[in-house]
Structure 1
Amino acid sequence: MSEPSFLSDLSDVLVQKEKECLNIESNKSNYYDVLTCPVHFDGWSCWPETPAGQVANQSCPDFIPGFEPTNTVYYKCMEDGTWYFHEPYNRTWVNYTTCVNTDDLSFRTVVIIIHSVGYSISLVALLISLALLIYFKTLRCARILIHMNLFASFALNNFLWLLWYYLMFDETEALFANQAVCKSLHTVLYTCLISNYSWMLCEGLYLHTVLVWAFISQRNLLKGMILIGWGIPLLTTLIYVPVRSIFGEGDDLTMCWIKDTKFEIINQIPVAATIILNLFFLINIVRVVVMKLRKGPAEGQGSGTSRSSLQALRATLLLVPLLGLNFLLTPFRPETGEPWLYYYDLFSAVTTSFQGLCVAILFCFCNGEVQAQIKRKWRTVRSFRPRANSCSATTMSYVKSTYTTNGREKV
């Protein structure tokens, strides 16, 4: 559950750099007897007092991912004693393009493309799955409704991530300028992300309940699943937003909540809990299924170990480790600059963005009931399709009848 890597932990460094720059400005002496540009912090670097008409230079920041610290950045002090002002941007501007590490930039672009493609494909697959389950009303039951809610939570999450990447990489300044919209998007995004895990918990809990307690009201069980699936994310958000708003400090209040803080544990606890609970449910499910299968079909006939339950079990066994894999690997993320970080980011991009596609495949496209409904619908459509030679056959029949009536069928 981490933000884009190039923004993580950036704000702490910037605050420290700004404090150092302000300290330099307060303690400066009139070293130059000519017109100078004052000490200035541009948001990333601190520029010393520089005589008018000269170009200041220093090494590129070493804390910005994608920048090459061995390169040099330049800032011009104009003849009137002011730093260069970029008219189109309507602000003082430093040319940091010389700092860009083109190789790292290309890699980050590839990672973003993988995320965008994966989320887009997953979103399409999830929407198709939802459309199929909504269309085939004969499939409507508690288990299918839980699948539909899971698809909906993943579809929302994928759409919001695509929106987030679009805004963060194409409209960064506009996004940060409107803190209310930015923080709202961040909050809704993480609410939907937690809902993915909570609905996966509902999948495991439902299967566990059906197998262990066969005689239970499906209606009441579904109500409980809806309360858990959407209630956990909403409750987490209702705690997270006020706590971070009230107790957040410094740049945490103005940096669009990009930086991971100690408050992230509020979001991480329900995710970790759902993964642990699901693993417990799955272990117990396997134990119950094995015990009932050992009893034989005669004794376990009404025990719920149906073919569909076994299919759901296999799908859940495959899906739960995948859903929690990124979260479990987060503590083992390599440090910036280590070669393994590239492989980690690629692996994380693929597994994260294609989770929705895996959900759609396992719970819809590979679902025998859905496949049977599609085949039945296809046969129905084909049965109503007129035969290609029906008109010719009717015409020939009419001609033959007329020919017989005139008594000319024999030579």
Structure 2
Amino acid sequence: MMNAAIAFCSLKLQQLAWTCIFFSIQSCAAKILEKTFQDWMRYRDECYKKMANSPYPTGLYCNRTFDMYACWPDGTPGATINVSCPFYLPWFEKCNMALVSRKCGHNGHWVMVNGSQPWRDCSQCEDEMEVTIEEEGTWKLMVGFRVLYTVGYSLSLLSLLSALLILIIFRKLRCTRNYIHANLFSSFGLRAASVIVKDALVMKRWGMEMTQVSDWETLLSSEAAIGCRVAQVVMQYCILANHYWFLVEAVYLYKLLIGAVFSEKNYYTCYLYLGWGTPVVFVVPWMAAKYLKENAECWALNENMAYWWIIRIPILLASLINLVILMRILKVILSKLRANQKGYADYKLRLAKATLTLIPLFGIHEVVFIFATDEQTTGILRYIKVFFTLFLSSFQGFLVAVLYCFANKEVKSELKKKWQLWKLDHPALCCTR
């Protein structure tokens, strides 16, 4: 029979896991479970040792036993046997004076329920299993956040795939600028997919219901965490790549606006290294630090913040550079407008307008919360930070696809031409009376 501590973890683990996911410490539920199970195994071993060293009574009696919950001594027929609540319970300090009871039948067998399950009164040990109103409210809020960013990432993924398909199919749209857009779309799409997959793996690992001790032993083994860790590494890489492709967009626009002679072919390879290569420089050391120093669960718990800053610093650096470039671009555009240079390429200004709507959206929320880390923020500020971070991060891919593809005049013109050609080739379908 599954012991009550494991039952407690099974009932509350989904709430804990989802609550912790949004605060970037999703292993908090895992730590509770792991410590509970380790204490349970120690309690079990001590019980077996105690039973082996105790002398056996004479006559009729109920056999000493460990029923997966508590350690029971030999019982006198017809008596109620009381023992202290097991010390492995997460709330043991609040009920260490309480008792759990079993009845020894007159026939020398423990009283059973339904002929197979032992009868046991452990109500005094289970008072703390009740979920408080505050915990319930927090869990509901986190579920709402989960729905928000799941919808956002799903919508972004669909729109980004559609935008990528358009840029790939139409040859007239193939140029360095759109190649950079396509890489940006890919980074956003990979980020969305990695977050969705990572969440699915986390909940598969911690959200399932366990009924056997062997299930928990398998769950807590290092082999079971490999898939979750791989997903965590891929997600961190995709997030960094996403940030640095936005930096590429900003750098490209800046050079386009201020460069007298701009050789696109010479720089595109550098952009590829910056967008896809730079994240490797930071993810590999972070992965090594987690493996050597914090090799626990899904590598999501940041016990030593120095390791987390290996990922955090390059993200903030990219955001700050984006904001600096934004200021410079604004200065260039304002100077051009003041000078009223009519010969200045109109497509450059349109491109600048589109990018200017994206760079602030990308960089500001990172800079605003630069010193308000997850571990430092509490209360309403933490919920505000989580909401804006999740909302902007999840829906940003959709906005990028709309502004850089679907709302682009060049793309719309090409789609319109293809639609007109299709109607001419299929007059029977389009011209029915």
2:325 equivalent in structure 1 = 281
Give the CA deviation at 1:163.
Answer: 0.8
Structure-2 change in CA distance of 1:271 and 1:36 (3 Å) = same
2:310 equivalent in structure 1 = 266
Looking at structure 2, the residues matched to 265 and 214 of structure 1 have their Cα atoms a distance apart, in angstroms, of 39
Q: Is the 8 A contact 1:201 1:277 kept in 2?
A: yes
Looking at structure 2, the residues matched to 74 and 317 of structure 1 have their Cα atoms a distance apart, in angstroms, of 67
1:153 equivalent in structure 2 = 187
Looking at structure 1, the residues matched to 430 and 376 of structure 2 have their Cα atoms a distance apart, in angstroms, of 71
Looking at structure 1, the residues matched to 347 and 224 of structure 2 have their Cα atoms a distance apart, in angstroms, of 49
Q: Is the 8 A contact 1:334 1:344 kept in 2?
A: no
Give the CA deviation at 1:334.
Answer: 8.6
Q: Is the 8 A contact 1:326 1:352 kept in 2?
A: no
Structure-2 change in CA distance of 1:368 and 1:78 (3 Å) = farther
Give the CA deviation at 1:391.
Answer: 11
C-alpha distance after superposition, 1:202-242 (max 9, x if no partner): 00000111111131211112111111111111222222222
2:228 equivalent in structure 1 = 182
Give the CA deviation at 1:48.
Answer: 8.9
C-alpha distance after superposition, 1:82-118 (max 9, x if no partner): xxxxx9xxxxxx9899444443333222222222111
The question of 1:226 aligning with 2:272 is answered: yes
1:140 equivalent in structure 2 = 174
Looking at structure 1, the residues matched to 127 and 164 of structure 2 have their Cα atoms a distance apart, in angstroms, of 47
3-state DSSP of counterpart to 2:163: helix
3-state DSSP of counterpart to 1:7: coil
Structure-2 change in CA distance of 1:141 and 1:54 (3 Å) = farther
Structure-2 change in CA distance of 1:371 and 1:60 (3 Å) = farther
3-state DSSP of counterpart to 1:371: helix
Q: Is the 8 A contact 2:247 2:321 kept in 1?
A: yes
Give the CA deviation at 1:323.
Answer: 2.1
Looking at structure 2, the residues matched to 224 and 143 of structure 1 have their Cα atoms a distance apart, in angstroms, of 14
**Aligned counterpart in structure 2 of residue 198 of structure 1, from 217, 229, 244:** 244
Looking at structure 2, the residues matched to 359 and 321 of structure 1 have their Cα atoms a distance apart, in angstroms, of 12
Q: Is the 8 A contact 2:323 2:363 kept in 1?
A: no
The question of 1:256 aligning with 2:301 is answered: no
Give the CA deviation at 1:292.
Answer: 2.5
The question of 1:7 aligning with 2:51 is answered: no
Matches within 5 A, 1:162-173: 162-172=196-206
Structure-2 change in CA distance of 1:389 and 1:321 (3 Å) = closer
Looking at structure 2, the residues matched to 75 and 378 of structure 1 have their Cα atoms a distance apart, in angstroms, of 76
Q: Is the 8 A contact 2:251 2:325 kept in 1?
A: yes
**Aligned counterpart in structure 1 of residue 417 of structure 2, from 364, 376, 379:** 376
Looking at structure 1, the residues matched to 331 and 407 of structure 2 have their Cα atoms a distance apart, in angstroms, of 24
Q: Is the 8 A contact 2:164 2:182 kept in 1?
A: yes
1:307 equivalent in structure 2 = 346
Give the CA deviation at 1:124.
Answer: 0.1
Structure-2 change in CA distance of 1:361 and 1:54 (3 Å) = farther
Structure-2 change in CA distance of 1:102 and 1:377 (3 Å) = same
Looking at structure 2, the residues matched to 74 and 321 of structure 1 have their Cα atoms a distance apart, in angstroms, of 60
Number of residues paired by the alignment?
354
Structure-2 change in CA distance of 1:37 and 1:289 (3 Å) = same
Looking at structure 1, the residues matched to 273 and 378 of structure 2 have their Cα atoms a distance apart, in angstroms, of 44
Structure-2 change in CA distance of 1:51 and 1:197 (3 Å) = farther
The question of 1:293 aligning with 2:334 is answered: no
Gap regions ≥5 residues in structure 2: 1-19, 56-62, 75-80, 111-115, 117-124, 209-217
Looking at structure 2, the residues matched to 359 and 74 of structure 1 have their Cα atoms a distance apart, in angstroms, of 61
**Aligned counterpart in structure 2 of residue 119 of structure 1, from 153, 160, 179:** 153
1:209 equivalent in structure 2 = 255
**Aligned counterpart in structure 2 of residue 319 of structure 1, from 337, 358, 361:** 358
Give the CA deviation at 1:162.
Answer: 0.8
Q: Is the 8 A contact 2:423 2:430 kept in 1?
A: no
Which amino acid counterpart does residue 168 of structure 1 have in structure 2? V
C-alpha distance after superposition, 1:171-212 (max 9, x if no partner): 437886523322221111100100010000000000111111
Structure-2 change in CA distance of 1:54 and 1:331 (3 Å) = farther
Which amino acid counterpart does residue 308 of structure 1 have in structure 2? Y
Structure-2 change in CA distance of 1:235 and 1:179 (3 Å) = same
Gap regions ≥5 residues in structure 1: 41-46, 63-68, 82-86, 88-93, 393-411
Give the CA deviation at 1:12.
Answer: 7.2
Give the CA deviation at 1:370.
Answer: 0.7
Which amino acid counterpart does residue 232 of structure 2 have in structure 1? H
Which stretch of the first structure deviates more once superposed, 282-291 or 331-340? 331-340
Give the CA deviation at 1:281.
Answer: 1.2
Structure-2 change in CA distance of 1:54 and 1:123 (3 Å) = farther
Looking at structure 1, the residues matched to 310 and 145 of structure 2 have their Cα atoms a distance apart, in angstroms, of 28
Give the CA deviation at 1:341.
Answer: 4.1
Which amino acid counterpart does residue 236 of structure 2 have in structure 1? Y
> What RMSD over aligned residues (CA atoms) do the two structures have, in Å?
4.4
Matches within 5 A, 1:83-122: 98-100=129-131, 101-122=135-156
Looking at structure 1, the residues matched to 99 and 420 of structure 2 have their Cα atoms a distance apart, in angstroms, of 71
* Percent identity of equivalent pairs: 25
C-alpha distance after superposition, 1:42-91 (max 9, x if no partner): xxxxx9977786583899968xxxxxx99xx998889899xxxxx9xxxx
Give the CA deviation at 1:337.
Answer: 7.1
Give the CA deviation at 1:123.
Answer: 0.3
1:338 equivalent in structure 2 = 379
2:164 equivalent in structure 1 = 130
Give the CA deviation at 1:131.
Answer: 0.6
